[in-house]
Chains A and B, each alone.
Chain A
């Protein structure tokens, strides 16, 4: 299954949910926020979001800003 992760195409083995992706990316426990197909997913809902082929996921963290 191919998804777009932070703007880059990436292959994952189905089935999986959002939490699985964050675990594979070693981001569990990090200070992050996640959007699935343009919608914010609250922290507690990661396991409820099942990923489909073609989905887009954005993962962000704090950065310097003006």
Chain B
């Protein structure tokens, strides 16, 4: 059982991937990172002005010496996402990109067609693409065919906290792609949701809102870290297969007043 996770040649020290947005204060963000000890931190890009807001944020993040995964949040078009990815690579000096191309503004559902096209172009440009995707099996197959190593299906819409809308589809992805790195990204609300993901054999969980908007973000970050570790440990230990009928855990043979003939009827 290993808590670490390899992405290419990088060894991540935890299977919790933590977003950095929406915390009540920079201190809350900092304390949450300290408590979660995440394997990576997701970051974004926004327009910079003379005020230099982005520099203050980066000073907090770089102090942790945790790998960062930049995203293309807010992109709706392929070319926009590609230029954003290139700008992220320039700034963060990483070829990792969390590719988000939004197809529907109400649910923030990713656009599978744009995602596929952009993934292909970014892989050709040398990126390691972490695609934020639906749990669609055919989309995953097409991504695999163009050389994508990592899938990040949603559990539920971003920020909804609903947990896993379709555990069947997520389990199917795990079963069909045993060698891919699978991460549930988005929709997680409670640590039990994250534990459920890891018990399915997923490699990691990416979450943000569930921690950032919790009553006590740092405490919640710690709770998620424990749940993700426990879920992964349980998966590697081998969870029993559920059955319809009862099966006594205490042996009955030689119990006092045992009448074998009665039980053989």
Contacts and interface: CB of A to CB of B under 8 A. Distances in A.
Q: Do A and B bind each other?
A: yes
A34 B91 CA distance: 9
B79 interface: yes
Interface residues of B, number: 37
A63 B48 CA distance: 9
Interface string B81-100: 00100111011100000000
B54 interface: yes
Contact of A7 (B43, B47, B88): B47
Contact-residue size bin, chain A (C-beta under 8 Å from the other chain): 20 to 34
B90 to A, nearest CB: 4
B57 interface: yes
Interface in B1-57: 19-23, 29, 42-50, 52-55, 57
A63 B43 contact: yes
A40 B83 contact: yes
B193 to A, nearest CB: 16
A61 B71 contact: no
Given A33-B88, A38-B83, A66-B71, A59 B43 contact: no
A61 B91 CA distance: 8
B208 interface: yes
Contacts of B55: 30-31, 61-62
A61 B46 contact: yes
B209 interface: yes
A25 interface: yes
Contact of B54 (A35, A38, A43, A62): A62
B64 interface: no
A56 to B, nearest CB: 12
B50 A27 contact: yes
B48 A66 contact: no
Contacts of B101: none
Contact of A31 (B20, B21, B91, B158): B91
A64 B91 contact: no
Contact of A65 (B19, B50, B53, B79): B19
A43 B88 CA distance: 13
Contacts of B57: 62-64
Interface of A: 6-7, 25-27, 30-35, 38-40, 42-43, 58-66
11 contacts: A30-B55, A59-B48, A60-B47, A60-B87, A61-B45, A62-B57, A63-B44, A64-B19, A64-B20, A64-B21, A64-B43
